[in-house]
Structure 1
């Protein structure tokens, strides 16, 4: 296992660091520092962060932790792209936890989450058919989820909703962790999704992206 003192010399490819309000998950509304890593092996048709697929800069974990702490905010979210596509993301997550921060990870669900530091709250997508990436779901990740974690399903239409309902029943998702259902902006009417959830008495949390409501910006600022 990598020693804490060694982690800080490890580098990751970083797109941006910024402070904003958390726009999603059960932490919605909390002041949060976002650490957006570069690169993603998926190409969801509704992706709103394509600018993070390429580019970025190589930064040491030490410099990232220092910058995050400089914001004076307790909560930090490591996101992408797909952060776990970089092996050094695991060391970054551990270093942020070691610094006394409350850390969450936003991940696509296509990569193994087993090695993520147990202090991290994992917010994991399940890709519905409308994403174009349903075949990339790594179903064995579900067995690793616990009450600290969350599953997010982004829905583009009625077929996606029915798929999500089936997943809830088949995999007992709500018994594992919080489940979030979110409409694709401009594709599925949020009020329609809300009506379906209430009508079917689904044990889920309805979610809108707060940052897009406030600023019409995927980056939350």
Structure 2
């Protein structure tokens, strides 16, 4: 049976995406092949402890929550992630996957909501974007841009138009905390009539950068 290296499993409010504010169990897998300059979970790059899928599901079950988010790091960097997603879906959870978009999502269980990043130029990892993944997104999924500055905003606008992203799934624009003023980003979205969901990171407003919150 696959062993998965886990950084933490915790219960908190979802801070982002369509289910923001809902009590959710987070399963944070260890490891990531990317090094985005705004990363706020570098503590998940290494360490952690190995757990079997059944052990993970048992711990998730103990929180009595309807929602589960599998995140990282980059969860798809571990072979066992797909099996974990299948097991959580089989338990009738509403499962979401937070992924960088740099790794293949074609085999992700179709019941899982994919929250997939397109890395902006200022992230330092734009070259890792796997555009083939867009073919595997549908209306239940979400595509996220983390915006650090005006150049990122213009780049994200151009990708939306070029790739018809808002017709494929919901698009999220998120200001990078500490670098992009959220009010300014909100005003740009309204000015340009963009069909996107503006989001801030609720968990950071409530608890800052505290791990496991």
State the TM-score bracket (shorter-chain normalisation). over 0.9
Name the CA distance, whole Å, in 1 between partners of 2:126 and 2:18. Answer: 24
State the shift of 1:217 in Å: 2.4
Aligned pair 1:38/2:25, yes or no?
no
Aligned pair 1:65/2:57, yes or no?
yes
* Equivalent in the alignment of 2:69: 77
Q: Could you report, residue by residue, the CA deviation over 1:59-115 in whole angstroms, capped at 9, with x for unpaired residues?
A: 000000000011000100000000000011000000011011110000000000000
State the shift of 1:219 in Å: 3.9
Aligned pair 1:214/2:189, yes or no?
no
Aligned pair 1:191/2:183, yes or no?
yes
Equivalent residues in 2 for 1:26-175, closer than 5 Å: 26-175=18-167
Q: Which runs of 4+ in 1 moved over 4 A?
A: none
Q: Could you report, residue by residue, the CA deviation over 1:119-172 in whole angstroms, capped at 9, with x for unpaired residues?
A: 100000000001000000001111111011100100110000000000110011
Answer yes or no: is the 8 Å Cα contact 2:8–2:212 preserved in 1. no
Name the CA distance, whole Å, in 2 between partners of 1:119 and 1:217. Answer: 30
Unaligned runs of 5+ in 1: 1-8
Name the CA distance, whole Å, in 2 between partners of 1:97 and 1:69. Answer: 12
State the shift of 1:220 in Å: 5.7
Name the CA distance, whole Å, in 1 between partners of 2:24 and 2:210. Answer: 15
State the shift of 1:218 in Å: 5.6
Answer yes or no: is the 8 Å Cα contact 1:11–1:59 preserved in 2. yes
Answer yes or no: is the 8 Å Cα contact 2:69–2:98 preserved in 1. yes
Aligned residues: 213
Q: Could you report, residue by residue, the CA deviation over 1:157-197 in whole angstroms, capped at 9, with x for unpaired residues?
A: 00000000001100111000000000111101000000100
Answer yes or no: is the 8 Å Cα contact 1:146–1:177 preserved in 2. yes
TM-score normalised by L of structure 2: 0.98
Answer yes or no: is the 8 Å Cα contact 1:21–1:220 preserved in 2. no
TM-score normalised by L of structure 1: 0.95
Unaligned runs of 5+ in 2: none
Aligned pair 1:16/2:8, yes or no?
yes
Aligned pair 1:179/2:174, yes or no?
no
Name the CA distance, whole Å, in 2 between partners of 1:101 and 1:10. Answer: 21
Given the superposition, is the C-alpha separation of residues 218 and 178 from structure 1 closer, same or farther in structure 2, using an over 3 Å criterion?
farther
